[in-house]
Amino acid sequence: MHAILQNAPGGSDSLYWGEAALPEPGPGQLRVRVRACGVNRADIVQREGRYPPPADASPILGLELAGEVDALGENVSGWALGDAVLALVPGGAYAEYALVNADEALAKPASWSWAQAASVPEAWLTAWLNLIEVGQLHAGQTVLIHAGASGVGAAAIQLARWRGATVVATCGSADKAAFCQRLGAHQVVNYHEAAFADTVRALGRADLVLDCVGGSYLDAHLSCLKTDGKLVLIGVMGGAQAMLNLGLLLVKRISLIGSTLRSQPLAHRAALARQLQQQLPLWDAGLFQWTLDRTFALPDAAQAQAWLEGNHNQGKVVLLVP
């Protein structure tokens, strides 16, 4: 099969379109003929050598896909050859064929395109895990969501609004601010023009912060969280080191929680997939919007990653498999 390969960690120019061995499904796995796969920040960090895949995962990049079941491993039930699926994977999606744990696969609605289906798993499962399970977000609360125009940010805005929360989002341009507002954000802060903490404090402070930035924002987060607020850290784009005011953390009883989706046990990821499967009709019902920014051909993965690295995207970037 063909896949996006890499000889050594590096920039986008280290990626190339080459041939790799066809993966064979093990017990409990599906082999999927990939039709589309999502591009994520985690792919870029892995490409640079700073986010190694799990020991049992494919070294090929790619954490989400949509396609057709091509082969079944032992002890698989509920799926048949030719079934259309979308799924989170621990690696290997930037390829013509990839392995999927059968318990994590979701049935693709017939009305969805392959690109639409591939844009959902990583962003929406990340948002669900961290807002609903970890953050315990509920109606009437206020949540601060950074990088609101990113794939995860766009999903989180919609999910939080659907749950009845007041949503404050950050972004870096007027176009992205308008995008976040269309998705349902009540307030949007352009971080080039204003301090997000001031906006959040004016609303009475936040119950929850979904933080993909990390170090450079820590003080501002502590200042704009309510007593008993939660800071859920899902990325460190702004640095992995920070000075922590333990006194403020103590007095306000703030919970600082680190969270990643990729390292969750299979049983937990499967449970998340089942919860998301129940929500898929909400797109066709018009309650959730598609946030597909643009597509590239899989051989052009380097260009797609460069587009993401340049912060040009509003929503998800997806690769289509020729």
The answer to whether the predicted template modeling score (pTM) of the entire model surpasses 0.95 is: yes
- The band of 173, judged by pLDDT with boundaries at 50, 70 and 90, is very high
Q: Which fold has domain 2-119+290-320?
A: Quinone Oxidoreductase; Chain A, domain 1 (3.90.180)
DSSP structure class, residue 305: H
Q: What integer is the mean pLDDT of 42-68?
A: 96
Residue 134 corresponds to which amino acid?
A: V
DSSP structure class, residue 216: G
- The band of 37, judged by pLDDT with boundaries at 50, 70 and 90, is very high
**What three-state secondary structure class fits 319?**
strand
Burial class (CB in 10 A: 0-12, 13-18, 19+), 303: middle
Query: Where in the chain are the domains?
Result: 2-119+290-320, 123-258
Across all residues in the chain, what is the average pLDDT? 97
Q: What percent of the chain lies above the pLDDT cut of 90? A: 99
> Which residues lie closer than 8 Å to 259 by C-beta, 6 or more apart?
129, 130, 134, 232, 233, 234
pLDDT value of residue 279: 97
- The band of 25, judged by pLDDT with boundaries at 50, 70 and 90, is very high
pLDDT value of residue 185: 98
Q: What integer is the mean pLDDT of 42-56?
A: 95
Of 68, 55, 89, residue with least CA distance to 266? 89
pLDDT value of residue 124: 98
> Which residues lie closer than 8 Å to 65 by C-beta, 6 or more apart?
32, 34, 35, 36, 37, 38, 86, 87, 89, 93, 98, 100, 118, 121
- pLDDT, tens digit (0-9, with 9 covering 90-100), for 257-268: 999 999 999 999
CATH fourth-level superfamily of 123-258: NAD(P)-binding Rossmann-like Domain (3.40.50.720)
DSSP structure class, residue 144: E
Q: What integer is the mean pLDDT of 260-288?
A: 97
pLDDT value of residue 23: 98
Give the pair of three-digit tokens for residue 30: 């599906």
* Buried-state track 274-302, b at ≥16 Cβ within 10 A, e below 16: eebeeebeebeeeebeebbbebbebbbbb
Domains 2-119+290-320 and 123-258 share a fold: no
Q: What integer is the mean pLDDT of 200-210?
A: 97
- The band of 294, judged by pLDDT with boundaries at 50, 70 and 90, is very high
Of 319, 286, 313, residue with least CA distance to 2? 319
